[in-house]
Amino acid sequence: MEETYLLNVEGVKKKILHGGRGELPKLEDGSRITFHFQTLKDDFERTVIDDSREAGMPMEIIVGKMFKLEIWETLLSSMRIGEVAEFWCDAIHTGMYALVSRGMRRIAEGRDPLEGQKHRCGMGNMFDYHSTGYDDLDDLQRTPQPLIFIMELFRVEEPSAYKRDTWAMSKEEKLAAVPVLHSEGNRLVLRKEFGQAAAKYQEAVICLRNLQAKEKPWEEGWLKLERLVTPLVLNYCQCQLELGEYYEVLEHTTELLQKHNDNAKAYFKRAKAHAAVWNEREAREDFLQAAHLDPSMAAAVKKELKQLGERMRKKHVEDRKRYQGLFQPTR
């Protein structure tokens, strides 16, 4: 097939290397596109810059989620399933490729793609740093140039056809997912599958925290979301207590109490974590505070304090025997 301008987009040419099947897939916001790609320089050697096959897994992007190389959505929208096509794009469309490639390479290496970046837009980060950490990408950053993309389209999935990552959800989808995740967590707790339950609660918290980040702290919208977050965090902490992750519980309950210092359940769970790691004074203080804030917890607190006293006495006896043995003269 002769090279033609793609969808009347200036500065882009397409050549089909292998025909696809069926009609052009319908792309909508939230659709997930899976494909392999190869990026080459437009030089005599057609120098390969990136190849997703070498990374061992295909590329995925979500339509409408502001992937930094916007032209890729346009290129993929012109392809049929199974099609292999070569695209030539001028420097206007490839100026951000160095930053995109840097992130993809870091992910393939198991590193944080945002490591070392400031909280700024992508273009700002390009000017903030003299090096991407990769020599070939530094060359592209200094001298933007046309690039060639060879793409093979595998599948296009509608938003409802796959389990979407939290970051890819809309506000409405996140709010709808929270009660479902909460219910799934509760069901797993009843089956004593605490690790899986904790993951469900945590995912629900992440959904809400993402939404909270767009609200002004302590105003009504933020508080409404916070009221949903609190029981999920407490459920998560209960799972961590069951799993023996006591310092995890201390971290999350302390963070919760910094914002809500009248939460009796948070004091109670933090007290249990303190008791488990032998912080006797802190455990007693938190147990008593829980009973003070919620008198209905007095019986449970009394039971916990009794168990704490017995454990501490036993530990002191064992410690005395251990230390006494250290100073016994050897015959």
Task: Walk along the chain (331 residues) in steps of 10 and give the mean pLDDT of each run.
Answer: 62 91 86 92 93 85 75 91 94 89 76 46 43 84 92 87 62 84 94 94 90 89 94 96 95 94 96 94 96 95 94 84 65 55
Residue 138 to residue 128: CA distance in whole angstroms: 13
Domain parsing of the chain, residue ranges: 4-112+126-157, 171-312
In this structure, is the dihedral angle defined by the CA atoms of residues 137, 145, 156 and 171, taken in order, positive or negative? Answer: positive
What pLDDT, on the 0 to 100 scale, is given for residue 158?
82
DSSP letter string, 44-77: TT--EEEEHHHHTS-EEEETTS--S-THHHHHHH
Is the pTM higher than 0.75? The answer reads no
pLDDT at position 117 is 45
Pairwise CA distance, residues 98 & 104, whole Å:
10
CA gap 92, 223 in Å, rounded:
44
pLDDT at residue 186 in the model: 95
pLDDT number for residue 319:
73
What is the model's pLDDT at position 253?
96
CATH code for the part of the protein at 4-112+126-157: 3.10.50.40
CATH class in words for 171-312: mainly alpha
| Residue 288: predicted pLDDT | 96
**Angle, nearest 10°, between helix axes 194-212 and 220-243?**
160
pLDDT in tens, 265-316: 999 999 999 999 999 999 999 999 999 999 999 999 999 999 999 998 988 8
| Token output for 67 | 């992937």
pLDDT at residue 157, as a whole number: 87
| Intrachain domains 4-112+126-157 and 171-312 with the same fold | no
- What is the dihedral angle through the alpha carbons of 132, 138, 141, 144, rounded to the nearest 10 degrees? -150
**Placement of tokens 């790609």 in the chain:** 37
Residues whose CB is less than 8 angstroms from the CB of residue 153 and which lie 6 or more positions away in sequence, other chains included: 20, 33, 34, 35, 76, 79, 80, 81, 82, 83
Report the pLDDT value the prediction gives residue 303, as an integer from 0 to 100.
94
Output the pLDDT for position 60: 85
